[in-house]
Amino acid sequence: MEGRPAVRTPWRVVGLVVRVVLLSILLWGGLVSALSTFTREGTMEELRAALGDGDTVVYLPHPREVRWSDGPFGWRRLPLDDSRSVREIDRLLDAAGPPGATVVRADHDSWPPDWFEDVPARHAWLVPLAWFGTLLAMLARSRPRYANRWGWFWMFSVGGIGAPLYLLLEPQPIWAAMDGPMPPARSRLDGGSGCLVAILLAFVSGLGIAGLSGLFG
Protein backbone atom coordinates (compact mmCIF):
# COMPACT_ATOMS: atom_id res chain seq x y z
CA MET A 1 0.00 0.00 0.00
CA GLU A 2 1.42 3.42 -0.98
CA GLY A 3 2.60 5.52 1.93
CA ARG A 4 2.61 2.55 4.27
CA PRO A 5 5.12 3.29 7.07
CA ALA A 6 8.04 0.94 7.61
CA VAL A 7 7.74 -1.22 10.69
CA ARG A 8 10.74 -0.95 12.98
CA THR A 9 10.32 -2.88 16.19
CA PRO A 10 12.90 -4.28 18.61
CA TRP A 11 12.07 -7.81 17.45
CA ARG A 12 12.69 -6.86 13.83
CA VAL A 13 16.09 -5.48 14.84
CA VAL A 14 16.90 -8.62 16.83
CA GLY A 15 15.88 -10.82 13.90
CA LEU A 16 18.11 -8.86 11.53
CA VAL A 17 21.08 -9.09 13.90
CA VAL A 18 20.61 -12.86 14.28
CA ARG A 19 20.40 -13.30 10.50
CA VAL A 20 23.55 -11.25 9.93
CA VAL A 21 25.49 -13.19 12.58
CA LEU A 22 24.41 -16.60 11.26
CA LEU A 23 25.05 -15.58 7.66
CA SER A 24 28.51 -14.26 8.55
CA ILE A 25 29.41 -17.54 10.26
CA LEU A 26 28.25 -19.61 7.28
CA LEU A 27 30.05 -17.41 4.75
CA TRP A 28 33.22 -17.60 6.86
CA GLY A 29 32.98 -21.40 6.92
CA GLY A 30 32.42 -21.57 3.17
CA LEU A 31 35.36 -19.24 2.51
CA VAL A 32 37.73 -21.23 4.73
CA SER A 33 36.64 -24.52 3.14
CA ALA A 34 37.13 -23.08 -0.34
CA LEU A 35 40.56 -21.64 0.49
CA SER A 36 41.72 -25.03 1.78
CA THR A 37 41.50 -26.35 -1.78
CA PHE A 38 43.96 -23.71 -3.07
CA THR A 39 47.13 -25.55 -2.08
CA ARG A 40 50.81 -25.63 -2.89
CA GLU A 41 53.00 -28.70 -2.56
CA GLY A 42 54.71 -29.02 0.82
CA THR A 43 57.22 -31.32 2.48
CA MET A 44 57.34 -33.30 5.70
CA GLU A 45 59.99 -30.91 7.04
CA GLU A 46 57.72 -27.91 6.39
CA LEU A 47 54.87 -29.65 8.21
CA ARG A 48 57.12 -30.36 11.21
CA ALA A 49 58.21 -26.72 11.27
CA ALA A 50 54.61 -25.50 11.09
CA LEU A 51 53.57 -27.79 13.93
CA GLY A 52 56.56 -26.62 15.95
CA ASP A 53 55.53 -22.99 15.54
CA GLY A 54 52.10 -23.75 17.02
CA ASP A 55 48.70 -22.29 16.14
CA THR A 56 48.51 -24.43 13.00
CA VAL A 57 45.39 -25.86 11.39
CA VAL A 58 45.83 -29.33 9.89
CA TYR A 59 43.19 -30.86 7.62
CA LEU A 60 43.05 -34.49 6.53
CA PRO A 61 40.56 -34.66 3.63
CA HIS A 62 41.32 -38.37 3.16
CA PRO A 63 43.86 -40.90 4.54
CA ARG A 64 46.41 -40.29 1.77
CA GLU A 65 46.72 -36.51 2.02
CA VAL A 66 47.40 -33.91 4.68
CA ARG A 67 46.92 -30.15 4.33
CA TRP A 68 47.99 -27.40 6.67
CA SER A 69 47.70 -23.63 6.78
CA ASP A 70 50.85 -21.52 6.60
CA GLY A 71 49.02 -18.20 6.80
CA PRO A 72 45.53 -16.69 6.77
CA PHE A 73 45.04 -17.55 3.09
CA GLY A 74 47.83 -20.05 2.40
CA TRP A 75 47.55 -23.83 2.41
CA ARG A 76 50.05 -26.56 1.66
CA ARG A 77 49.40 -30.20 0.85
CA LEU A 78 51.48 -33.33 1.25
CA PRO A 79 50.45 -36.57 -0.48
CA LEU A 80 51.07 -39.65 1.66
CA ASP A 81 52.36 -42.41 -0.59
CA ASP A 82 52.85 -45.25 1.87
CA SER A 83 51.72 -46.53 5.24
CA ARG A 84 54.97 -45.36 6.84
CA SER A 85 54.17 -41.75 5.92
CA VAL A 86 50.65 -42.14 7.30
CA ARG A 87 51.98 -43.46 10.62
CA GLU A 88 54.54 -40.65 10.82
CA ILE A 89 51.82 -38.05 10.25
CA ASP A 90 49.71 -39.64 12.99
CA ARG A 91 52.64 -39.47 15.41
CA LEU A 92 53.34 -35.83 14.54
CA LEU A 93 49.72 -34.82 15.02
CA ASP A 94 49.39 -36.75 18.28
CA ALA A 95 52.51 -35.01 19.60
CA ALA A 96 51.37 -31.55 18.45
CA GLY A 97 47.73 -31.77 19.47
CA PRO A 98 45.76 -28.90 20.97
CA PRO A 99 46.34 -26.12 21.88
CA GLY A 100 49.28 -26.04 19.47
CA ALA A 101 47.45 -27.47 16.47
CA THR A 102 43.85 -27.83 15.38
CA VAL A 103 43.34 -31.12 13.55
CA VAL A 104 40.24 -31.64 11.38
CA ARG A 105 39.58 -35.05 9.85
CA ALA A 106 36.94 -35.36 7.13
CA ASP A 107 34.35 -37.99 7.99
CA HIS A 108 33.35 -38.66 4.34
CA ASP A 109 29.64 -39.07 4.98
CA SER A 110 27.24 -37.64 2.42
CA TRP A 111 25.15 -35.58 4.83
CA PRO A 112 25.48 -32.98 6.21
CA PRO A 113 27.54 -31.35 3.42
CA ASP A 114 31.30 -31.30 4.03
CA TRP A 115 31.85 -27.58 3.44
CA PHE A 116 30.37 -26.66 6.80
CA GLU A 117 30.71 -29.91 8.75
CA ASP A 118 34.48 -30.27 8.23
CA VAL A 119 35.63 -26.63 8.17
CA PRO A 120 39.42 -26.63 8.69
CA ALA A 121 39.62 -23.85 11.28
CA ARG A 122 39.60 -23.13 14.97
CA HIS A 123 36.09 -22.72 16.40
CA ALA A 124 34.76 -24.56 13.34
CA TRP A 125 31.91 -25.92 15.50
CA LEU A 126 30.19 -22.55 15.04
CA VAL A 127 29.50 -23.36 11.38
CA PRO A 128 27.40 -26.54 11.80
CA LEU A 129 25.70 -24.90 14.77
CA ALA A 130 24.67 -21.97 12.56
CA TRP A 131 23.60 -24.35 9.77
CA PHE A 132 21.39 -26.50 12.01
CA GLY A 133 19.97 -23.41 13.71
CA THR A 134 18.98 -22.02 10.31
CA LEU A 135 17.48 -25.36 9.31
CA LEU A 136 15.32 -25.44 12.44
CA ALA A 137 14.20 -21.85 11.82
CA MET A 138 13.21 -22.78 8.26
CA LEU A 139 11.25 -25.85 9.39
CA ALA A 140 9.47 -23.83 12.08
CA ARG A 141 8.31 -21.15 9.65
CA SER A 142 4.76 -21.78 8.45
CA ARG A 143 5.06 -20.25 4.98
CA PRO A 144 8.50 -19.33 3.60
CA ARG A 145 8.34 -16.70 0.88
CA TYR A 146 10.45 -17.99 -2.04
CA ALA A 147 10.08 -21.78 -1.70
CA ASN A 148 8.00 -24.15 0.36
CA ARG A 149 9.64 -26.12 3.14
CA TRP A 150 10.38 -29.09 0.87
CA GLY A 151 12.02 -26.80 -1.65
CA TRP A 152 14.19 -25.21 1.00
CA PHE A 153 14.94 -28.59 2.57
CA TRP A 154 16.45 -29.84 -0.69
CA MET A 155 18.49 -26.68 -1.06
CA PHE A 156 19.78 -27.15 2.49
CA SER A 157 20.59 -30.83 1.96
CA VAL A 158 22.17 -30.94 -1.51
CA GLY A 159 25.38 -28.94 -1.30
CA GLY A 160 24.24 -27.03 1.77
CA ILE A 161 24.03 -23.67 -0.01
CA GLY A 162 20.37 -23.30 0.92
CA ALA A 163 21.27 -22.18 4.46
CA PRO A 164 23.03 -18.92 3.48
CA LEU A 165 20.43 -18.34 0.76
CA TYR A 166 17.63 -18.72 3.29
CA LEU A 167 19.25 -16.23 5.65
CA LEU A 168 19.78 -13.83 2.76
CA LEU A 169 16.21 -14.02 1.40
CA GLU A 170 13.72 -15.15 4.05
CA PRO A 171 11.24 -13.97 5.21
CA GLN A 172 12.24 -11.04 3.00
CA PRO A 173 15.62 -10.00 1.58
CA ILE A 174 18.09 -9.02 4.27
CA TRP A 175 18.65 -5.60 2.69
CA ALA A 176 14.92 -4.89 3.10
CA ALA A 177 14.56 -6.50 6.52
CA MET A 178 13.78 -3.18 8.23
CA ASP A 179 11.03 -2.28 5.76
CA GLY A 180 7.41 -3.15 6.22
CA PRO A 181 6.02 -6.60 5.30
CA MET A 182 6.30 -7.41 1.61
CA PRO A 183 3.39 -8.81 -0.43
CA PRO A 184 3.39 -12.60 -0.92
CA ALA A 185 5.56 -13.93 -3.71
CA ARG A 186 3.72 -14.72 -6.94
CA SER A 187 5.12 -18.24 -7.04
CA ARG A 188 7.31 -20.44 -4.86
CA LEU A 189 9.63 -23.32 -5.58
CA ASP A 190 8.16 -26.69 -4.66
CA GLY A 191 10.12 -29.77 -3.62
CA GLY A 192 10.98 -30.88 -7.15
CA SER A 193 12.05 -27.42 -8.29
CA GLY A 194 14.04 -26.92 -5.10
CA CYS A 195 15.86 -30.20 -5.68
CA LEU A 196 16.78 -29.20 -9.24
CA VAL A 197 17.96 -25.76 -8.12
CA ALA A 198 20.02 -27.35 -5.33
CA ILE A 199 21.72 -29.75 -7.75
CA LEU A 200 22.45 -26.92 -10.18
CA LEU A 201 23.88 -24.65 -7.46
CA ALA A 202 26.01 -27.46 -6.03
CA PHE A 203 27.35 -28.30 -9.49
CA VAL A 204 28.13 -24.70 -10.40
CA SER A 205 29.79 -23.88 -7.07
CA GLY A 206 31.82 -27.11 -7.10
CA LEU A 207 32.89 -26.51 -10.69
CA GLY A 208 33.86 -22.93 -9.88
CA ILE A 209 35.95 -23.91 -6.86
CA ALA A 210 37.64 -26.72 -8.78
CA GLY A 211 38.45 -24.38 -11.65
CA LEU A 212 39.87 -21.67 -9.39
CA SER A 213 41.83 -24.27 -7.42
CA GLY A 214 43.41 -25.57 -10.61
CA LEU A 215 44.17 -22.03 -11.76
CA PHE A 216 45.66 -20.63 -8.56
CA GLY A 217 46.55 -23.75 -6.58
Lateral strand order in the sheet of 101-105? 39-41, 75-79, 65-69, 56-62, 101-105
Q: How confident is the model at residue 213 (pLDDT cuts 50, 70, 90)?
A: low
The yes-or-no verdict on residue 82 having pLDDT over 80 is no
Is residue 4 included in any domain, yes or no? Answer: no
- Separation between Cα atoms, residue 97 and residue 174, nearest integer Å: 40
- Separation between Cα atoms, residue 119 and residue 30, nearest integer Å: 8
The yes-or-no verdict on residue 216 having pLDDT over 60 is no
The yes-or-no verdict on residue 95 having pLDDT over 80 is no
Is residue 14 included in any domain, yes or no? Answer: yes
Whether 190 and 154 have beta carbons less than 8 Å apart is answered as no
Overall domain count for the chain: 1
Is residue 2 included in any domain, yes or no? Answer: no
Each residue's pLDDT tens digit, 99-119: 668 888 887 665 556 667 778
Is residue 23 included in any domain, yes or no? Answer: yes
Q: How confident is the model at residue 172 (pLDDT cuts 50, 70, 90)?
A: confident
Q: With pLDDT > 70 as the criterion, what percentage of the chain qualifies?
A: 82
Is residue 5 included in any domain, yes or no? Answer: no
Query: 34-48, 61-75, 109-123, 146-160: which range is least confident on average?
Result: 109-123
Instruction: Find the domain containing 177 and state its range.
Output: 10-216
Task: Give the highest mean pLDDT range of 16-30, 87-101, 172-186.
Answer: 16-30
- Separation between Cα atoms, residue 75 and residue 37, nearest integer Å: 8
Q: How confident is the model at residue 129 (pLDDT cuts 50, 70, 90)?
A: very high
Mean pLDDT, the chain, as a whole number?
82
Q: Residue 1's pLDDT is what?
A: 42
